Structure 1
Amino acid sequence: MEKRTVAGRSGQEWLSSLPACFLLLAVVIFSTSSDIHNKVLQLGQDLWSGYYQLRFDPVQPTCNPAINVDAAVQQRLAQKPSGDDALLGGLLDSGPVDPKAIRASIENAKKACQAQFADYRSIQSRITPGVKVYRSVELFIADVVAFGLTAQRYILALIVMVCAATATFTRHHIAMRGMETRLDYTVSHFLQFLANSMLLMSSYMYRKMSHDSGAIMTTGQEVLHDLWIGGFLLLTLVSVYKLFRVPSEMKEGGSLMHAFLTVPLYTTMCLVSGSYFSLVAHNAAGIGIYLDKMMELSDMFLNVGLYVWAGMMLKQTRLASLVFNLFRPWKMPPELLAVVAVMVASVPTAYTGASGIFVIAAGSVIYSELRNAGARRQLALAATAMSGSLGVVLRPCLLVVVIAYLNRQVTTDNLYHWGGWVFLLTSVLFLLMSMVFNRQRGFKLAPASEAFPEMITALRPVIPYILVIAAVVVFYWLVLGVAMDEFSAPRILPVIMLGILVYEHVRFKGSREHVSGEIDHKGLEQSLRSATTETTSEIGALLLLFGLSVSIGGVIERSDVMSMFPQALGSPWSAMLLMVAILVVLGMIMDPFGAVILVSSTVASIAYDSGINPIHFWMVTLVAFELGYLSPPVALNHLLTRQVVGEDEMNASYLKEGTFYQRHERVMMPLLVMGVALLIVAFGPLFYYAR
């Protein structure tokens, strides 16, 4: 698929990137159309009072507004008992008929009918040609919104399958180690074949089980079943093709232990959960059932794809380099620059809602800019892995919203308030670790008299980007009535990045001038194409991992592992120690949203019943999850960092000399920062309450 074929485009770009681009654009259009429809409805109400009544032609009432009351009364009095009353021998007869009551009833019915006709004529007279034109547009937008809501599940299934097949074809799935030998390649792709076959069989069995149960299957459900089956069939065929197409660059030799480390994480999760459901739970459809549950959160997983796409478009722009240029005049040591980069990255992380998503979306930009500023590889890798860890407790992080939605004991305001203090704590710890324990050269900044004018000069090229961003945000706010928050960010950020790409295309007339002075001849189309090509593999790897993480959560839930723990512990100290261990492990093996759902339904009640304050518990949970994402043996954020910076950079970072800490700084530094933060957040308040 790397060979150029038609019109200078590779097979991957035609068969994967182009469909993925259309699907992602469709998500943005459908979600934005909902905002447009709300605004159109509001505008219609402003133009025509009571517009909601004018959206459809009124139905003419069937009653008679000119009924003769006297004749109707006489007709009612002349009526004989109905058949049922006659059979009951008049037992239901309540006495003589009151003519006055009958007349009053008929007169009231006549007045109501006349009012209905008056409303009918009033509405009909107000439906002018202008209203008809306006409502035809409004109803078309409403149909688009309804279609978009219905299509969400199918779009997600298509994106997962197209992008997962691309990740398999390009060897881009998330694994502990990259493939280096023929043994690595064979073992990895053989196990991927087994896992994909298991997914195919589970999806087929789920479809068969749904039919055998006698439940009524809608057309939409049938289509979704067929999409999963067809997608996993494609994935299985791709893995078979790759299994027998060993690349020539693969070296001979290798060890079986290293080969198992090259197996993608989703494959391991699939084999574990599939074996459990088939052999223990005796339900071969288990994985298919839990993957179908993924559809219930289709908007959230589609947002993941949009965030990654926006991050890859950011990588195609000059914006990140220009922002880093603002700090270069101060001649910061690399350690301090790494702290600044991680703290700045906390803001977009708060919008993405998960550190792993941010690492995939913007990790390569942070790593390359830190390296350009002189940071050593180990430090740059550590900062990249941590780049999303500090912002998950800040407003408007969607993960916090999910926690508050699932747990009535806490509110978003309280969580965000204490999250700000947790952010301050982790930032100070990162600063101390970088500047006191990790500094390898003197701490000396450039004089403000020299640095500040240069910083102002470096700010000038950033101003147009700020204006583009502000224009998009203000447009959504003023025209569509949508503020930039955790709910709107997924659809606004891609529009912002598209606006920046358009600006650069116009400003540089199809070429982009780098900070180094080199010219990269990329126009709008090529930049968007490059960003989407990178996005497809990243989305496929991430979403398939998230989907199988949901399945692992199902194994934990179905196996009643959590029931092995006591429902309440006598001491908050022992309960907190147990909670910390459980939460860190869950952070190692599950995606954040799935882990929050599992924790809410299992261990949260144990913590509450053991005397741990709910807000305190969830602050601990968020920090513990981040420590889990940075902790071996899985260390997901480090694996995602490897994914975005490449195997060559990772291999070049390995040191044979120096202390243990220096040789493993990229892992040790984040562990120490988040580990100390977790101990303080978990047990500090208990010391305070114990006084």
Structure 2
Amino acid sequence: MTKGGLQRSGLEWFSSLPACLLLLAVVLFSTSSDIHNQMLRGGEQLWSGYYKLRMDPVQPECNPDRDIEAAVAEEMAAGAPDDDPMAALLGAYEKNPADVRLAIERSVGECQAAHASYLELQDQLTPGVKAYRAVELFVADLIAFGLAGQRYILVILVMLCAVTATLTRHHIAMRAMETRLDYIVSHTLQTIANAMLLGSSAIFRQSSLGSSTAVSGEELMLHNLWIVGFACLTLASLYRLFRVPSNLQEGGRLGQAFLAVPLYTVMCLISGTYFAMIGHSSGIGIYLGKMMELADMFLNVGLYVWVGMMLKQTRLATLVFNVFRPWRMPPEMLAVVAVLVAAVPTAYTGASGIFVIAAGAVIYSELRAAGARRHLALAATAMSGSLGVVLRPCLLVVVIAYLNREVTTDELFGWGIWVFVLTATMFGLVAMSVNRQSKFDLAPTAQAFPASFRALRPLLPYALVIAGVVLVYRFALDVKMDEFSAPRLLPVIMLAILVYEHVSLKKRTSPEPGQARHPGLERSIRGATNDTTAEIGALLLLLGLSVSIGGVIERSHIMEAFPQAFDSAWSAMLLMVVILVILGMIMDAFGAVILVTATVATIAYSSGIHPIHFWMVTLVAFELGYLSPPVALNHLLTRQVVGEAEVLAAQREGGTFYQRHERIIMPLIAMGISLLLVAFVPLLFYAT
């Protein structure tokens, strides 16, 4: 779980520099589409009918000086058409000279108009138009190249980052590798799983080539990239298997060693074994290939992680917390504030796990610096992304509305506000009442408000930088800040903030008390990308294999064992809650939504559960699943970003049972109560 190897050898740019270039390419290609739209509008404003000038006009082949009288005489003499000899024989085919003349005159007129339009377009093709057109067509080609290369970028990014995560021992597991037995068991199973992925991809390639359907060059290239990537991943895990670090403890227990196996490995072994047993060895490769259908979504995940790691390199989070410090809030209240503030960026990232990976380390460090105990800080970090998934403009909600015609985004976001208020209230009540260890003694308003207001001043330049980027996109490219534009705007915003800090903080001869010297722009971007590379590899590989687990659930027809409709909406809701929480434990949000849409949703609708109510329950149930043992993905991601040492230190702390497990129990109480209320209270008003 700890990074090493590449960073200690000073070779981190060998993996992070290509990853940085790939992520920048994604931003460039998506932004070029906006630029191209504005160029088309600008061309139309500068030259009316510019869309006709985008290509060289072709001279018409017709004759504009055609002799009408001769053409009429020729047409009348032609008689009946050759393909209708019977009409000519019977004399039934007679031509009206007036109609013939009218048709020929129209034809000549259209020809003359076409020639006139051609000459007019030729006159409009000035050197300025040709120069502008060359740039505009280049941008259009760049967009086409970016769209075609999006899937290639995703495969290369996943494989590059997965190899990095393997070499740096940064995959997501239930516990860290502490002993030699942990290490050997983990990397042995990783090697087997990676070889299984390689074999499945190779079999999928061969079956595709042997099918009756022709395989395009693009599909063949994707097959080859998957195979090369999994071959490199297998070699990386094999290399790690035979390079056992010397700082590991001797001994160990086999049961604990299995907990050190990465989750993606467990998912791969389960799905690979199942597909092999049913004679479908290419199953994992097929379901991984389905990632390509949502390539833009998975690339956005990588961009969000990169944004979070760049945020960690800035002073922005510290300055935001400085606004609340003068009030001397008890740690429990500050944790609630942190979770509430985190809801807004979570709504833009679209999934709680992504936000924990992206900003969890910042939240945890700031809460600890403000005096929060470890368990409380860990609980708040794990739950920091759980409240905002129901708020506009969360991409997960957009996906739900896209896949389900029974609901709209306006309806879901409208009710999502009330769900957010409920979950936030529950977390606040639990944090402030259960195991509260601090006195509720806020600083006097006359003392705290001026200090808090002064703390807002350093945030003003950041607000101006953010507003500047948003306004440039809004007025120069006609792009609003929403769920569709956020993935390409946020990286630009964070890069602009890093540039601002580089320029402003470098001017200072000495840092402020308690503040480290600014590392510089290059080191900040490099540090953020180094963290991003391993995190993307761990997260995207896990998301990809969860899609494969979804395939196992789909092909095993487990859902067919349940009734397709219930007589009671209450009984159906009880089953829905259990199933949805379990799915939240083992699958990523987007893959789970696709699976639920195809299976559970129809049962809920048939049982009398309102579609909007069902999907609100689904979102809350997923979040409870991400916080629930034995997997508790958000807690695993929290440990991933804050470090194993902090979690172990928290586990060694004494106290009551609740105090020893507060980081797990507190989120479960808050989200559990919220889920019960969201699931069953609305039934009182419409269920019969």
TM range (shorter): over 0.9
Asked if the contact 2:353/2:634 (under 8 Å) is kept, the reply is: yes
Match of 1:263 among 244, 261, 264: 261
5 Å-filtered alignment, 1:19-98, equals 19-79=18-78, 85=84, 95-98=93-96
Asked if the contact 1:510/1:521 (under 8 Å) is kept, the reply is: no
Asked if the contact 2:22/2:153 (under 8 Å) is kept, the reply is: yes
5 Å-filtered alignment, 1:185-584, equals 185-280=183-278, 282-509=279-506, 517-584=514-581
Task: Name the count of aligned residue pairs.
Answer: 686
**What is the deviation of 1:309?**
0.2
Whole-Å separation in 1 of the counterparts to 2:244 and 2:219 = 38
**What is the deviation of 1:74?**
2.4
Whole-Å separation in 2 of the counterparts to 1:251 and 1:34 = 54
Q: What residue identity is the alignment partner of 1:144? A: L
Q: Name the SS for the 1:567 alignment partner.
A: coil
Structure 2: gaps of 5 or more residues: none
Whole-Å separation in 2 of the counterparts to 1:647 and 1:466 = 34
Cα distance 1:690–1:150, how it changes in 2: closer, same or farther (>3 A)?
closer
Whole-Å separation in 2 of the counterparts to 1:57 and 1:319 = 52
Whole-Å separation in 2 of the counterparts to 1:475 and 1:191 = 50
Asked if the contact 2:375/2:661 (under 8 Å) is kept, the reply is: yes
Whole-Å separation in 1 of the counterparts to 2:96 and 2:10 = 88
Cα distance 1:595–1:91, how it changes in 2: closer, same or farther (>3 A)?
farther
Asked if the contact 2:4/2:168 (under 8 Å) is kept, the reply is: no
Asked if the contact 2:267/2:545 (under 8 Å) is kept, the reply is: yes
Whole-Å separation in 1 of the counterparts to 2:569 and 2:5 = 61
Q: Which moved more, 1:431-440 or 1:479-488?
A: 431-440
**What is the deviation of 1:589?**
0.7
Q: What residue identity is the alignment partner of 1:641? A: T
Q: What residue identity is the alignment partner of 2:57? A: P
**What is the deviation of 1:443?**
0.5
After TM superposition, the score normalised by the length of structure 1 is 0.96
Q: Which residue of 2 aligns with 1:675?
A: 672
Whole-Å separation in 2 of the counterparts to 1:100 and 1:210 = 63
Asked if the contact 1:549/1:589 (under 8 Å) is kept, the reply is: yes
Asked if the contact 2:348/2:486 (under 8 Å) is kept, the reply is: yes
Q: What residue identity is the alignment partner of 1:530? A: G
**What is the deviation of 1:641?**
0.3
Match of 2:131 among 130, 133, 143: 133
Asked if the contact 1:505/1:511 (under 8 Å) is kept, the reply is: no
Q: Name the SS for the 1:343 alignment partner.
A: helix
When the two chains are superposed, the root-mean-square deviation of aligned CA atoms in Å is 1.9
Cα distance 1:4–1:575, how it changes in 2: closer, same or farther (>3 A)?
closer
Asked if the contact 1:203/1:229 (under 8 Å) is kept, the reply is: yes
Whole-Å separation in 2 of the counterparts to 1:566 and 1:179 = 43
Q: What residue identity is the alignment partner of 1:484? A: M
Q: Which residue of 2 aligns with 1:10?
A: 10
**What is the deviation of 1:122?**
2.0
Whole-Å separation in 1 of the counterparts to 2:258 and 2:127 = 70
Q: Which residue of 2 aligns with 1:182?
A: 180
**What is the deviation of 1:195?**
0.6
Structure 1: gaps of 5 or more residues: none
Whole-Å separation in 1 of the counterparts to 2:238 and 2:5 = 20
5 Å-filtered alignment, 1:111-126, equals 111-126=109-124
**What is the deviation of 1:73?**
2.1
Whole-Å separation in 1 of the counterparts to 2:656 and 2:223 = 55
Q: Which moved more, 1:657-666 or 1:569-578?
A: 657-666
Q: Which moved more, 1:64-73 or 1:182-191?
A: 64-73
Whole-Å separation in 1 of the counterparts to 2:617 and 2:370 = 34
Whole-Å separation in 1 of the counterparts to 2:217 and 2:660 = 57
Match of 1:654 among 648, 651, 671: 651
Q: What residue identity is the alignment partner of 2:161? A: C
Q: Name the SS for the 2:483 alignment partner.
A: coil
Q: Name the SS for the 1:657 alignment partner.
A: coil
Cα distance 1:418–1:91, how it changes in 2: closer, same or farther (>3 A)?
farther
Cα distance 1:335–1:296, how it changes in 2: closer, same or farther (>3 A)?
same
Whole-Å separation in 2 of the counterparts to 1:558 and 1:545 = 20
Asked if the contact 2:60/2:114 (under 8 Å) is kept, the reply is: yes
Q: Which moved more, 1:145-154 or 1:107-116?
A: 107-116
After TM superposition, the score normalised by the length of structure 2 is 0.97
Cα distance 1:467–1:129, how it changes in 2: closer, same or farther (>3 A)?
same
Asked if the contact 1:12/1:166 (under 8 Å) is kept, the reply is: no
Asked if the contact 1:165/1:238 (under 8 Å) is kept, the reply is: yes
**What is the deviation of 1:77?**
3.1
Whole-Å separation in 2 of the counterparts to 1:152 and 1:631 = 35
Q: Which moved more, 1:132-141 or 1:669-678?
A: 132-141
**What is the deviation of 1:89?**
9.4
Percent same amino acid among aligned pairs? 66
